[in-house]
Amino acid sequence: MKRREFLSKGSTIAGAGLVLGAPSILKAANKGGDKINVALIGMGKQGQVLFRAMSNIPGLHFQAVCDIWDYNRRGAAGKVRSLQGHVPNRYTDIDELLEKEKDLDVAIVATPDFWHSPHTVKCLDAGLHVYCEKMMSNTLDGARAMVHAMERNKKLCQIGHQRRSNPRYRYTLDHLINNNNICGTIVNINGQWNRAVKSSQDIQYKKSLAIDQAVLDKYGFKDMHQFMNWRFYRDLSGGPISDLGAHQIDVFNWFLGCRPKSVFASGGNDFFKTREHFDNVMAIFEYDAPQGPVRAFYQVLTTTSAGGGFYESFMGTDGTINTSEMSSSSAIYRESTAPEWDDLVKRGYLDKKAAPPKPKSTDGIASYESAAPEEFAIPGVLNKPPHQPHLENFFAAVRGEATLNCDARHAFESEAPIFWVNPSALQKQPIVFTPEQLQV
Amino acid sequence: MSTESKAANNPLGLLFASLLLRVWLGVRAVQTGIEKFAGKVMSESPVKIDGEAYDADLTEAASSKGYSLENYHGIPEAMNTTFSEEPLMMGWALKIYDVVLGPALIILGLTILLGVASRVSLFLLGLVYVSLTWGLILIKQDAGIAWLGIHMALIAMALSWANHNRFCLLKKW
């Protein structure tokens, strides 16, 4: 089955994310190929990433921009002008935007995490479809409110777990894991995001560009440093496990088709002593997956880029698949005892890599090791910015031409366990999930 | 019997020898010059599973060799950086040499192939190889220097056989 056909049917585990929740509204009434009027809510770093990806999508009209920082507002207006030849209406306050802009169709929310829920709920209540960056919120209740608002208003709400629309990930799940079962029984998962100290430093700003303190107070920031570095604060974000880990733990849950039954985490302010959030977190999730028990380890380190950067590794009895948004970090390994994959290579499902070097016979340790697994690769690379397919899916759903790949309900089901990683690390205790802890 | 009288007794052999050497040196120079316009042409095609394209967004890149003016580098980029760090290498001269080298090799190769002022052409090509040799001495590329030395010997041989040249457009010089 080709991906297009798969998307149009949209009824499998891969399409719906997890299998727990009833499908909510996944596509709008057919809007056809008309222009879609877009409001950009939050045009900081992530908002700009989304804008760059959207600038490749035809049929969008960037009508309004909202950001409390004049620097971001002016920058966004300039980008819209150079792309579309008009200056969008600019707002500091989202309430004013929603009151004045009457013919908007969608809002793209890329504000700090603690504003995701209030902004998304306001936009949904105003009758807009919403694409909101992950993590849904910094609190479970905030995320719940987004699901309720989506279902109450019968509007689309896509959460920015962009890997769910990445054809390499979808291909891996549909064809390699589900259809061809190349992993055999998946027993373990390993994932990580290791980021260098240099990339984890405080974000600086020019004093002359600072926001007025009264504006900062109004929008929940104690000062400009906190505005620039909101990811370090517990009241404003979920920290590295949420910023970086949420994408990959979502992939764990998506690929397994279920949520973990428990989490046991450890973390600390090992290097960045004054930050509220842990700079290094390691977590073990336990699953009772349909295929059997699975144990998943995830680590987010903000003090080293060594160890392979960021990837997810699905380790089964027949093979292991390493997935990553970076195709260079992706790989597939066949266990020496697994059935041959030559036919899959011949049919284009896998690319075969060069054989690994044989261990030297003089190496005494080598005799205790398993035979080196053969290496394969997922064929092809994504030929556009990584967020673009997810945004394309959202706009296609707005036009009634596709179903959402990650609506708020399914995103909530996948994100809910992530909210319990920091509490487990703080308490130094495993948390066995109760239905109340994970339900909408 | 002297060498000259031996040569006079074998005019066909000398004709072929000088012709082959001329063709070799000409082709060597022309193609070396053309290769300075070579580059990789990247193309993308959708990944095919069971013979059918899976998704337009999932593509495999393929590269093929192509020639264009945009690809031109008289001196390879890596070597250019090395030369620019040499105190005896003047920046302006390096820039001029970078522009001139490819066209010079093509033009001299063609004049040698067509037999246009063969002696002067061979002499100028020899000067080009001398200049290349000097550059390689600066960056201590002994294998390249030896390689160019063989070229110089071949040019000297071609010059000494120039009297036996036939099939020339301009025999003078």
pLDDT in tens, A40-91: 999 999 999 999 999 999 999 999 999 999 999 999 999 999 999 999 999 9
Q: Is the pLDDT of residue A341 over 80?
A: yes
Kindly report the CATH number assigned to the domain that includes residue A189. 3.30.360.10
Task: Indicate whether A337 belongs to any domain.
Answer: yes
Average pLDDT over chain B, rounded to an integer: 88
> Mutating which of B45, B50, B54 best tests the A interface, going by the most A Cβ atoms within 10 A?
B54
DSSP state of A231: G
Q: In this structure, is the dihedral angle defined by the CA atoms of residues B164, B165, B171 and B173, taken in order, positive or negative? A: negative
A370 and A249 part of one domain: yes
Task: Indicate whether A216 belongs to any domain.
Answer: no
State what percent of residues in chain A have pLDDT above 70.
89
Closest residue on chain B to A175 (Cα): B49
pLDDT tens-digit series, residues A123-134: 999 999 999 999
Is B54 close to A168, i.e. CB distance below 8 A? no
A30 and A150 part of one domain: yes
Task: Indicate whether A399 belongs to any domain.
Answer: yes
Average pLDDT over chain A, rounded to an integer: 91
Contacts of B48 in chain A (CB under 8 A): 348
Window 39-68 of B: residues touching A by CB (8 A cutoff) are 44, 46-55, 57-61
Q: Which residue has the higher pLDDT, A7 or A358?
A: A358
A274 and A140 part of one domain: no
A284 and A309 part of one domain: yes
A11 and A36 part of one domain: yes
Average pLDDT over residues A19-23: 46
A175 and A70 part of one domain: no
| Local confidence band at A417 (pLDDT 50, 70, 90 cut-offs) | very high
Average pLDDT over residues A108-116: 98
Count how many domains chain A has. 2
A350 and A391 part of one domain: no
Tell whether ipTM is more than 0.85.
no
pLDDT tens-digit series, residues A182-231: 999 999 999 999 999 999 999 999 999 999 999 999 999 999 999 999 99
pLDDT tens-digit series, residues A372-398: 789 999 999 999 999 999 999 999 999
Which domain covers residue A338, as residue numbers? 167-201+240-382+419-438
A22 and A39 part of one domain: yes
Q: A5 touching B, CB under 8 A? A: no
Range scoring the smallest mean pLDDT among A144-158, A388-402, B21-35, B42-56: B42-56
| Local confidence band at A369 (pLDDT 50, 70, 90 cut-offs) | low
Helix (H) / strand (E) containing A90:
strand A89-91
> E strands of B26-145, at which residues?
38-46, 48-49, 52-53, 58-67
pLDDT tens-digit series, residues A278-307: 999 999 999 999 989 999 999 999 999 998
Domain spans of chain B?
3-37+72-164, 39-67
Q: Which residue has the higher pLDDT, B74 or B165?
A: B74
A196 and A136 part of one domain: no
A290 and A302 part of one domain: yes
CB atoms near residue A220 (< 10 Å): 16
Window 249-288 of A: residues touching B by CB (8 A cutoff) are none
Residues 6+ apart with CB under 8 A from A249: A191, A285, A296, A298, A414, A417, A418
Distance CA A13, CA B61 (A): 30
Instruction: Please report, as a single letter, which amino acid is at residue B96.
Output: I
A394 and A260 part of one domain: no
